[in-house]
Amino acid sequence: MREAFNAGLAMAQGDFASWKDHGKQLLARHGLHRTEEVVAWLCDELAVLSVHTPSISLEEVAGETVPFISALYDWTKAGFPHFSLTEDFFNAIGVTDFGDPTDEPVHMPFDAFSIAFPKSHLLGDTTRAFIYRVPSVRLQQGGYDMVWKLTRATLLTADPIFTQWPRGITRRELLDEASLIDSATVPGARPLDPAETPLTARLRTLLLNVMSYIESSGPLPTKARERSDAPAAVERLTEARPVFDVGRVVKLDGGLRQAMQASSGDKARWKLAQKFIVRGHWRMQAVGEGRAMRRRTWIAPFWKGPENVAEALSRTYAVE
């Protein structure tokens, strides 16, 4: 039980190396084969502990420790999947408009995975996040109820930020800036600071675009291949565990990269003297036999406008 608490503490502190060790020990020590079994074991342990330690709030511990440990188990079973966003891809996908968000559900590539991105103005000091499914556990006399109810993203900053939304949330709901889905819904969770609200909204948009990109790229590669200059939307980097390089095929010219890095995301700041940037967006592309099928395809940001300077100066441009 002490190991479970230490694992939860390691996760909250962003100590991924220590957390992996806890996951391996959990698998080896208890011989549990399903995440539900881990949750059941943990709830039983908590129930016994509460009898001997009345000062412990079962509700609070179940609301925080159980999600951490179940996520650790999911992550360990999957081989610690990790996605790293290339810098050019991050700059482009971070300012991509989703367009018509639709009511399709958001699909995660794994039940639990970590994701790393370059440090930028977009997410402040955050360079890593952990995404995982969360069981809603209600402890009661004689047992507990459990349902896989939420998906949570933990942003690893100096003070971790927890943002969560209902399991099976749609693309439209995830992009809703007026939504209350980021509210702390488990006992003991730190409520969001008002200054963090824009950050979580940007994170949701980024995650939706990244997961849509991964999904549209086809099945994830199951084995690493020798690195080459051949373009690969998502490339597996190791044989031993699923570590993926996302967006290696995306290359931005120097001017476009600098304009994106300097922008705060405010479209008004994207006006240029000659050309203008068409922001990244999604298009339903015709594919298949007779082009009868449609697949969501990402269109990377690009320059648009005349090459002639005199013509450019005589016209007014806006950002699409």
The alpha carbon of 217 is separated from its chain's Cα centroid by a whole number of angstroms, namely: 17
Which of 282, 277, 281 lies closest to 260, judged by CA?
277
Which of 77, 98, 150, 90 lies closest to 116, judged by CA?
90
- Confidence at residue 264, expressed as pLDDT on a 0 to 100 scale: 47
Please write down the long-range contacts of 298-301, taking CB distance under 8 Å and 24 or more positions apart. Answer: 298/93, 298/96, 298/209, 298/212, 298/213, 298/216, 300/92, 300/250, 300/252, 301/92, 301/95, 301/96, 301/252, 301/256, 301/260, 301/277
Query: Both tokens of residue 61?
Result: 């511990």
Rounded Cα distance between 289 and 201, Å, is 39
207: alpha, beta or left, given left = phi > 0 and alpha = psi -120 to 50? alpha
Contact 70, 35 (CB under 8 A): yes
- Confidence at residue 103, expressed as pLDDT on a 0 to 100 scale: 84
- Confidence at residue 317, expressed as pLDDT on a 0 to 100 scale: 45
- Confidence at residue 23, expressed as pLDDT on a 0 to 100 scale: 75
Rounded Cα distance between 167 and 105, Å, is 9
- Confidence at residue 59, expressed as pLDDT on a 0 to 100 scale: 65
Q: Per residue in 195-216, is it b (16+ CB within 10 Å) or e — as a string?
A: ebeebbbbbbbbbbbbbbbbbe
- Confidence at residue 210, expressed as pLDDT on a 0 to 100 scale: 93
Rounded Cα distance between 265 and 292, Å, is 36
Going from the first residue of the chain to its last (320 residues), give the mean pLDDT of each consecutive group of 10, the final group possibly shorter.
Answer: 65 69 72 73 72 66 73 87 92 83 86 88 79 74 64 74 81 78 62 78 88 90 80 90 92 75 49 66 79 80 66 48
Phi and psi at residue 8, in whole multiples of 5°?
-60, -40
Rounded Cα distance between 59 and 186, Å, is 9
